[in-house]
Amino acid sequence: MPEASLFRVAPGARVETPVCRLAQEVARLKGKKRAGLAFLLGVCAAAALSPIDLVPLVFIAFPGLLWLEEGSEGGWASFGLGFLFGFGFFLAGMYWVAAALFVDIARFWWLLPFAAAGLPAAMALYSGLCLWAAHFLRTRFGLPPAARVLAFAVLWSGLEWVRGHAFTGLPWNLIGYVWAGGFPGSLALLQSVAFIGIYGLSFITVLAASLPALLGAPSLAPMSRARRSAPAIASLALILLPAALGALRLEASPTVYTNTRLRLVQPSIPQSLKWDSARFEANLRRLLQLSAEPSRHRPAAIIWPEAAVTIPLRRDPAERKALAAVAPKGGVLLTGAIRTDRPPAPPRHFWNSLEAIDGKGKILAHYDKVHLVPFGEYVPFHRYLRFLPLKKITAGSVDLSPGKGRRTIALPGLPPFAPLICYEAIFPGAVVDENARPDWLLAISNDAWYGKSSGPYQSFEMARARSVEEGLPLVRVANNGISGVVDASGRVLTHTDLDAIGYVDFVLPAPGPRTLYERAGDWIFFALLFVAIFAVALKIG
């Protein structure tokens, strides 16, 4: 079957617009200019994410990438373009990962190239594979232009799903998250994840952002203005229609509050001091002082961030007594802590945990983090790689152990909640116990590793998307920000600034109705892909 071409000029074709000429110039680029543009387009796509939130840039980045691919002379050339685009995207979007190493750069300096460039390069393999597959479909089946764009959106979003699940998964900075930030009107479009999930929103976004590439196609005959504008109109419709429906959903779902009052505490303790035994008492004193500040209304719970307590509380009655002193009367203190085997057994296992402590110093409940960070909290295949100088970058020489699974915690005076620790909040469809739906999500994190980077902002926005997907309010408490409260529709009701020291008293929002995504999960996304693949197959046939 002959190869379909979007931007190469056939005999008799008319180069009618400046966009057509631009598309052809981009497709003809060679060498360093071609590689450099692919990289820069990836950086542009990353700038659409929080905290920069320049969403219109994706409508430049993806058409530019498709125009570049048109000039590829083979599958490996297309793979290289996709890789460079992805490398720019992940380098700009995940540079903050390397910042964690500077907390103890004397020990981990040798890991800096792997964190700064190795991780983005690994993630870029997915975008390279996406463009290789797009090239294969174009050359093998001669896909017409519209089908080619549709196939590209299927490939990109499908590989995002794979990235979110393969090798423990890292669904960071999916394209759908461009609508989770502060771009005007983005919250209306974010409502789509209540039905199709974040992967479905990625599919819609990539499709809408890629359709303008068709504006660069030359034609064999004069076109009417309406026909020439069809790709732009379709792109706008894919954005405006879900946004309009989302606006109606927001209008029909105002914020409703419960009678439960809570206090979140953000101590902003520098990571370099957090695990310093000489600073333990000073760090704890800051948390206790912020918790003891007077309030007009007594909270049902005071919430501290991840690993706020850096000693095993079960083995230290004196510290439990100190914490019990600030627990609200009849309420609890919820704190991140390091948990170990119950005494008198020796401490052989360690968990990154959330523990609930009452006014008598009794630990009423706990949750152990299930999804641990590779190399951050454990070294994969450690038993087989003991001959290598590989150590986790968090404190301690022993790998943390994973918890047994998601759970819903019910405590006196509190609506039942689903605890999430650190990056557990970035995994769609995996944040609650399916057999015991909670009334709210509690995400505790540290984030002090990442300084004044984009990492804490991105973490908050991704957790916000989980709130809309599940139809549940979210309380996020981080050591140095961003902490805040989000209602069941994703409205940010209050939040702290990065590195702020303080506390926030608030009334817990009520849960919303169960969402379609909460019921069906990613099957809705798979159905979208099936319909799109069927449409592409019809064009092939």
Give the catalytic positions in this structure. 306, 369, 422
CB atoms within 10 A of CB 128: 22
Helix %, strand %, coil % of the chain (to 5): 50, 15, 35
Report, in angstroms and rounded to the nearest whole number, the Rg of the chain calculated over CA atoms: 25
| Residue 44 to residue 65: CA distance in whole angstroms | 11
Catalogue the E-assigned strands of 133-242.
none
What are the residues facing 336 on neighbouring strands? 354
3-state secondary structure 244-297: HHHHHHHHHCCCCEEEEEEEEEECCCCHHHHCCHHHHHHHHHHHHHHHHCCCCC
Closest C-alpha to 240, from 288, 282, 194, 186: 186
Q: What are 67's two structure tokens?
A: 């125009």
CA 441 to chain CA mean position, Å: 16
Q: Where are the beta strands (DSSP E) in 126-174?
A: none
Q: Provide the Cα torsion 207, 212, 216, 218; round to 10°.
A: 80
Closest of 307, 426, 424, 408 to residue 370, by C-alpha = 424
Q: How many residues does the chain have?
A: 541
Name residue 123's amino acid: M
Tokens of 348: 């052989």
**Distance (Å, rounded) from C-alpha 470 to C-alpha 88?**
32
Q: Give 285's contacts (C-beta < 8 A, 6+ positions apart).
A: none
Distance CA 367, CA 408 (A): 9
- 3-state helix/strand/coil string of 225-247: HHHHCHHHHHHHHHHHHHHHHHH
As a whole number of angstroms, the distance between CA 319 and CA 285 comes to 11
**CA max distance for the chain:** 86
According to DSSP, residue 311 is labeled: S
43 and 91 Cβ atoms separated by less than 8 Å: yes
